[in-house]
Chains A and B, each alone.
Chain A
């Protein structure tokens, strides 16, 4: 089912939950809402679910305007961060609840609950109460309950945040697989950009109740349209430096008092024609410690991540995060030279925080 959101606003008195949101979600698409805590993700989701009435704007499921349609008449499934299982019902009763409300016959309820439970790998647990289950099992029950009525739209509100890291990885794969299998249009709220990047077809990046970008993960990563998106997407985050970009003899240079880096024309020309200083963004993976590097700095701190080290290097008054092989055993205080891969560099207008490269 297509989900169309046009100029949606939801306000709680003076508090803005979400403002002027426009998103067109295709049938069968997996869309992630990504943004920091308090940016309006849950508000948007609950408005889609019909729990909140929009203050303004139009929501369509397919061609039908659903602004005032009751949640029960929307045929949606929802998975909550807290799982929201009914503690007084068994696992079976929890999953059967949506069917019971739809007045599905007892025999059909039984078949469909069994089927869903088997898909979710919780067939053995149907007689237990939620209180007797582990977090991962509860999450599967919640997912089963959302799926059992074959919803047109699936809504997820940070469903994996309460799970431990390993389980999160497993469930991430399972949810994505299931969604592709069933082809149900899904909206997945998360503040974890890795989840969004790995699972979603497209990501809506939100901040302060506003939509910052709506694009595929690759687009967001390679061609971020705002500095917020550039900084939020990618882990560890992009490095930002105030520079001025100068053109000389058809070549372009990004300069500060302690740096002078050449940029190719395609990336250098737009910032060069911008009045005054600009913000340069470069990802940690585009900086290498190399003996032939042109920039020299001092290692401030080394954080071992296991597979690699996250290193904070100070160059003059700037600080760069970068990733280095653990085998090199870098130490804090060590002097190193850095090589910058300027082909992936980004430039932003410091006033509007908009990209100077991509519109």
Chain B
């Protein structure tokens, strides 16, 4: 590896282009340009705009598209946010929603499904995994309609029809247990991502290594614990990090299922609030500035979490140390 790096280094024609490093890497920058431009146009600039909006009081009532004419209010939006009596509730809602969905579905169930489907007949495993992908590839509106149909009140709801058939009481599930369904509905979508990553990680473990563990005296469960799990640590870190961030920012399903209700903010999460404040005609007034403050805090929380994850999983340890050639 280091050998290759050296040769490609020395192959840069410094002699012809002079000693200017920038010039000699022009080709490399050229190849990076398309991706770089996309990141700048669709990520960095929007982030900058949202940051700016969050320190203005832009709303429907004083709307202008001219950045210069927007009224600068400093950190007032953030102050309002901290004093907002519901922000606290929404914050803990969000933590609850992300933690529970992530740990039960996006990580644990994903891991269980991929471990099970890689330990059975290949084709059968493939079929089971394909079934788990269905919720993700179904359009959210259709998918949520299905769930609404299942959880609807008697006599329409499918679950309640079973309850009636077995002589059980019926419930208005989305009113009585909204969190259960918010988590399950999102969880079923969330499983497939981790499942695909874990499955390909498990399948790329060399067969010899897996056989060696059995010959060395492990049961299949011990092999999962001592060999497979340590070897898929990096994909596991990736899924935990990536899915935390995507759960933090996803709100479409919740919006369609409960729209943050029932009642005041029962299942409202942070990103949904940002949307409600900034873009939905909340109380007849879209507060772009205030909504942006929510969005900025969300991005900051995401970045902090990502850094913490890297530390906890000891990212540096996952990179192989250099080989010592001897003997």
Residues of A within 8 A of B (CB): 46, 49-51, 70-72, 76-78, 80-82, 84, 86-88, 97-98, 101-102, 128-129, 131-134, 136-137, 145, 149, 155
Q: For A70, give its contact among B219, B230, B231, B322 (CB under 8 Å).
A: B219
Q: For B226, give its contact among A71, A97, A102 (CB under 8 Å).
A: A97
Query: Among residues 187 to 240 in chain B, which have CB atoms less than 8 Å away from a CB atom of chain A?
Result: 206, 208-209, 211-219, 222, 226-227, 230-231, 233
Q: For B206, give its contact among A70, A77, A78, A84 (CB under 8 Å).
A: A84
Complex CA distance for A71 and B206, rounded to whole angstroms: 18
Does B323 sit within 8 A of A, measured CB to CB?
yes
Is there an interface contact between A71 and B214, defined as CB atoms closer than 8 Å?
yes
Residues of B within 8 A of A (CB): 206, 208-209, 211-219, 222, 226-227, 230-231, 233, 320-327
**Shortest beta-carbon distance from A247 to chain B in Å:** 56
Complex CA distance for A170 and B321, rounded to whole angstroms: 28
Complex CA distance for A115 and B230, rounded to whole angstroms: 27
Q: For A132, give its contact among B217, B218, B227, B323 (CB under 8 Å).
A: B323
Complex CA distance for A47 and B134, rounded to whole angstroms: 38
Highest count of chain B CB atoms <10 Å: which of A82, A86, A134: A86
Residues of B within 8 A of A81 (CB): 208
Residues of A within 8 A of B212 (CB): 78, 80, 84, 86
Is there an interface contact between A137 and B326, defined as CB atoms closer than 8 Å?
yes
Q: Contacts A80-B208, A82-B208, A86-B227; is A72 near B217 (CB within 8 Å)?
A: yes
Q: Contacts A80-B208, A132-B322; is A101 near B218 (CB within 8 Å)?
A: yes
Is there an interface contact between A102 and B325, defined as CB atoms closer than 8 Å?
no
Q: Contacts A84-B211, A88-B230, A88-B231; is A98 near B216 (CB within 8 Å)?
A: yes
**Shortest beta-carbon distance from A99 to chain B in Å:** 9
Is there an interface contact between B327 and A72, defined as CB atoms closer than 8 Å?
no
Highest count of chain A CB atoms <10 Å: which of B209, B211, B215, B218: B215
**Shortest beta-carbon distance from B44 to chain A in Å:** 37
Q: For B217, give its contact among A51, A101, A133 (CB under 8 Å).
A: A101
**Shortest beta-carbon distance from A142 to chain B in Å:** 8
Residues of A within 8 A of B218 (CB): 72, 101
Is there an interface contact between B222 and A132, defined as CB atoms closer than 8 Å?
no
Is there an interface contact between A134 and B325, defined as CB atoms closer than 8 Å?
yes
